[in-house]
Amino acid sequence: MFGFLNIYKPVNMTSHDVIGYLRRVTKIRQIGHAGTLDPFAEGVLPVAVGKATKLIEYLNDDKAYIGRFCFGKSTDTYDIEGKVVCEFDNKITEKQIIDLPLPQGEIEQYPPIYSAKKINGKKMYELARAGVNDIEIKPCRVNIYKTELLEFNEEEQWADIFVECSKGTYIRSIANDIGKALNNGCYLSKLKRVKSGGFEVKNSVILDDLKNIQDVEKILINPIDYITQPKQELNDVEYKRISHGMTIYNRIDATNDAIVMLTKENQLVAIAQTSSDGLKPKKVFIN
């Protein structure tokens, strides 16, 4: 079995739990995911099965989320699972949020201290839980392509905000920053990932619908439909050369060191890299 799955990760289940479930159902060990979601979050989780795990690095990393931003409190994790560290009496109005320049473009963002980002090989949340107080948090450059206020509840003091962003963006850090900008507190109470590269929530499948390996096979996605690198269809001679790890002639317009998908009859055969000598296979998927 070889391909991608568009899985809907439910709340209160980790991304690793999803992989464990699929391994039990399919009896296949070689399964991985692209883009971890926190347990309180839900939505799109791209999953690779079999040799497709070698293709995760070539997937589009851009993401889109709908987050519920709650005002009046700040937590140490910047989300609903954390300990409240500040409370505020002043109420936020919809006009204040509309007037606030929501983050857009390339920004420097400080990740939450309770995050999986590593410092000297250790995850930050492990250091924080161990009581390390002098953790040096360095900002990361991320891209925010779009932010949009979808709904505001003045009585309950929450806003649903759509965020389209690059890989590595922490939506809960955006919540914390918005709270500071409003001289208030703000934390993330809900998060739904609605898009991850080419995987969209409207096409995702819930785990309860996957009872056996046959159910999984029915929804398996051909990798060439979700990897956007240029493609070169192989003839019989080229196919044989690639099967032996040999370089072939480059028939597409691509610069040196570009990644090219080599296909045969709509099936991915190999990932190759361009060079002055032609297309040299990096990863071959012929059985």
Q: Is 105 in the same domain as 173?
A: yes
CA–CA distance, 191 with 39 (Å, rounded to integer): 10
CA–CA distance, 226 with 60 (Å, rounded to integer): 8
CB-based contact 99:114 (threshold 8 Å): no
Active site residue 76: no
pLDDT above 90 covers a percentage of the chain that reads 78
192 located within any domain: no
Q: Is 75 in the same domain as 115?
A: yes
Residue pLDDT, tens place only, 224-255 = 999 989 999 999 999 999 999 999 998 887 77
Q: Is 241 in the same domain as 210?
A: no
Q: Is the predicted pLDDT of residue 28 greater than 80, yes or no?
A: yes
Instruction: Give the model's pLDDT for residue 85.
Output: 94
CB-based contact 272:259 (threshold 8 Å): yes
| Among candidate residues 277, 208, 249, 222, the one with its CA nearest the CA of residue 22 | 208
More confident residue, 118 or 19: 19
Give the helix/strand (H/E) hosting 107.
strand 105-109
Residue pLDDT, tens place only, 197-218 = 999 999 999 999 999 999 999 9
Average pLDDT, the chain: 91
Q: Is the alpha carbon torsion for 4, 6, 7, 9 positive or negative? A: positive
Instruction: Give the model's pLDDT for residue 135.
Output: 63
Q: What's the domain count of the chain?
A: 3
* Beta carbons within 10 angstroms of residue 255's beta carbon: 6
Q: Is 265 in the same domain as 182?
A: no
Residue pLDDT, tens place only, 120-148 = 566 655 655 665 566 667 778 999 999 99
More confident residue, 66 or 103: 66
Q: Is 179 in the same domain as 74?
A: yes
CA–CA distance, 180 with 124 (Å, rounded to integer): 22
Q: Scan for tokens 């980002």, then name that residue.
A: 117
Which residue in the list 38, 134, 160, 208 is annotated as catalytic? 38
Q: Is 112 in the same domain as 213?
A: no
- State the CATH number of the domain containing residue 240: 2.30.130.10
CB-side exposure of 50: number of CA atoms within 13 Å? 17
DSSP string for residues in 1-27? --EEEEEEEPTT--HHHHHHHHHHHH-
CB-based contact 56:32 (threshold 8 Å): yes
Q: Is 176 in the same domain as 80?
A: yes
Q: Is the predicted pLDDT of residue 23 greater than 90, yes or no?
A: yes
Report helix, strand or coil for 252.
Answer: coil
Q: Which amino acid is at 281?
A: P
Q: Is 165 in the same domain as 73?
A: yes
Look at residues 186, 212, 245 and tell me which one is the last residue of a structural domain. Answer: 186
Q: Is 151 in the same domain as 55?
A: no
Residue pLDDT, tens place only, 79-122 = 999 999 999 999 999 999 999 988 889 999 877 766 566 655 66
Indicate yes or no: pTM above 0.85.
yes
Q: 66: which strand partners?
A: 162, 192
What residues contact 236, with CB distance under 8 A and at least 6 apart? Answer: none
Domain with 239, as residue range(s), is: 231-284
Residue ranges in the chain assigned as alpha helix (H): 15-26, 94-99, 124-129, 171-181, 213-218, 236-243
Instruction: Give the model's pLDDT for residue 199.
Output: 97
111 located within any domain: yes
Q: Is 112 in the same domain as 157?
A: yes
pLDDT above 70 covers a percentage of the chain that reads 91
CB-side exposure of 143: number of CA atoms within 13 Å? 6
- State the CATH number of the domain containing residue 34: 3.30.2350.10
